[in-house]
């Protein structure tokens, strides 16, 4: 046995990388830390669009996350880059539109890495809805869905990627 652990890299993707994907990034990072797996699982987030590059997550996302004990204020928006398709093992879109955009950008040999984040959850939601123009508890709903999918994703990775 070599003693070298496999590293798993996860990329969360939404449109602008200021609401859903940084929330998913922060929540999943919290789950990784709680499980003691920071040495083997890495998470990042990006957007398919370029209009928020360098910006902090939306203040409503930061406030909702903070209320639940997640810190996402240190994250900065970036756009998906060609090297991401090679670098990451899981590239998880928050909705069908972003998944479609990723499919168009992704080289064929790496398309198996693309899926919807909510595919990992046992939920009535197939996508994480964009809260940007939402009303009421839209950011709370995002957190609920992201927490559920993060737990399920971590369990999946532990079984399928780290158990061997």
* 106 in active site: no
Strand order across the beta sheet in which 114-116 lies = 41-47, 8-14, 90-93, 114-116
Residue in 14, 44, 58, 78 annotated catalytic: 14
Asked if residues 128 and 94 have their Cβ atoms less than 8 Å apart, the reply is yes
70 three-class SS: coil
- CA 4, 10, 16 angle in degrees (round to 5)? 155
Tell me the β-bridge partners of 91: 11, 114
* 20 in active site: yes
* 19 in active site: no
Nearest to 90 by CA among 150, 17, 23, 3: 150
Residue in 19, 20, 78, 95 annotated catalytic: 20
- φ, ψ for residue 8 (rounded to 5)? -115, 130
Residue in 44, 58, 101, 130 annotated catalytic: 130
Active-site residues: which are they? 14, 20, 130
């Amino acid at each position: 046995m070599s003693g070298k652990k496999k590293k798993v890299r996860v990329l969360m993707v939404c449109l602008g990388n200021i609401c859903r994907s940084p929330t998913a990034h922060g929540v999943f990072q919290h789950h990784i830390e709680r499980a003691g797996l920071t040495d083997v699982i890495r998470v990042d987030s990006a957007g398919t669009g370029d209009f928020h590059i360098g910006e902090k997550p939306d203040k409503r996302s930061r406030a909702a996350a903070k209320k639940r004990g997640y810190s996402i204020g240190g994250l900065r928006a970036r756009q998906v880059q060609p090297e991401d398709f090679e670098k990451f093992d899981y590239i998880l879109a928050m909705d069908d539109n972003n998944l479609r955009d990723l499919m168009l950008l992704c080289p064929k040999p790496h398309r198996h890495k693309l899926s919807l984040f909510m595919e990992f959850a046992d939920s009535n939601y197939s996508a994480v809805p964009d809260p940007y123009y939402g009303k009421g508890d839209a950011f709370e709903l995002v957190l609920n869905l992201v927490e559920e999918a993060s737990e399920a994703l971590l369990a999946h990775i532990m079984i399928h990627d780290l158990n061997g």
